[in-house]
Amino acid sequence: MNNNDAIGIFDSGVGGLTVWSEIKKILPNESTVYYADSKNCPYGSKSKEEVIQLSEKIVQLLIHKGAKIIVVACNTATAAAIDYLRAKYPLPFIGMEPAVKPAALHTQTGTIGILATEGTINGRLYKETRDRYAAKCNLIVKVGKGLVELAEEGDSYSEKALEAVKKYIKPMIDGNADQIVLGCTHYPYFIDEIRKIIPKTVIIHNPAPAVARQTKNVMKSSGLLSQAASKRDDIFYSTTNDGKLKFILKTNFHIDAQVLFV
């Protein structure tokens, strides 16, 4: 591994770009290799074994492309595969964790809304975090069925998107939640729509900035920070050839990037 190698980042699709963009903000001089497995998206309803298999294939490609650290920018893949990946591959892995801890610290009403995929909710990580930090809280947990697909289509700012989030978020608000945890990296695309239907006092927790800070800290302590003095390359791979990743990069992140089909 070399300091000037890249940060490998992957997700079942475009969701991990919400983490990628936070990483770029605080580590602008790092190269990145992003892999969107849109062909196999969504991961949320797949078995643990299947998600491990898909994740491992991606990790092997990212290592082959020169990743020095890998960010599993997908809550579902973290829940299913990070233990396996850490045990098998020598480089550091950073994973996603639903932001239950900050939500439990901030709640005034004692009620927290959690929106995540089935795979994340059923995973050990979520259950442990919940039991450790939110044992005294009332949790309203919803599986955001259909949201990942809408985000993949780039359809997160529309009447349809608003209706879709309303179905999950309204019961949380009606149940007196004052914190909403976004437990899937595709969900931050809906933040504007979510804000339309929640009181201003409700806090939305997107763990992406904290995961970016954690990535930086681990790179620093492992001596992996780039020595480059200027901006480096970003490479994007997608398992679909439909221009969706390119479209999302352009519309949401104002980046005109080439996306390579794998």
- Residues contributing to the site for ligand DGL (CB under 6 A): 11-12, 15, 41-44, 74-76, 117, 120, 148, 184-186
In the set 67, 74, 82, 150, the catalytic residue is: 74
Comparison of 121 and 224: residue with beta carbon closer to ligand DGL: 121
CB of 129 to ligand DGL, least distance (A): 15
Burial class (CB in 10 A: 0-12, 13-18, 19+), 23: buried
Comparison of 143 and 224: residue with beta carbon closer to ligand DGL: 143
74 an active-site residue? yes
Question: Half-sphere exposure of 260 toward its Cβ, with a 13 Å CA cutoff?
Answer: 9
Burial class (CB in 10 A: 0-12, 13-18, 19+), 262: middle
Q: What is the Cα 233 distance to its own chain's centre?
A: 21
What letter represents residue 124's amino acid?
R
How far apart, in whole angstroms, are the C-alpha atoms of residue 122 and residue 119? 5
41 an active-site residue? no
- Residues, the chain, total? 262
Q: Cα–Cα–Cα angle for 82, 54, 238, nearest 5°?
A: 110
CB of 138 to ligand DGL, least distance (A): 24
Comparison of 110 and 146: residue with beta carbon closer to ligand DGL: 146
CB of 121 to ligand DGL, least distance (A): 10
Comparison of 98 and 172: residue with beta carbon closer to ligand DGL: 98
Nearest position to ligand DGL, beta carbon: 44
Determine which helix (DSSP H) or strand (DSSP E) holds 24, and give its type and residue range.
helix 17-26
Comparison of 11 and 193: residue with beta carbon closer to ligand DGL: 11
In the set 33, 80, 184, 203, the catalytic residue is: 184
Burial class (CB in 10 A: 0-12, 13-18, 19+), 63: middle
Q: Minimal CA–CA distance to 20: which of 32, 6, 12, 29?
A: 32
| Token pair recorded at residue 141 | 């947990």
CB of 16 to ligand DGL, least distance (A): 6
Catalytically annotated residues: 74, 184
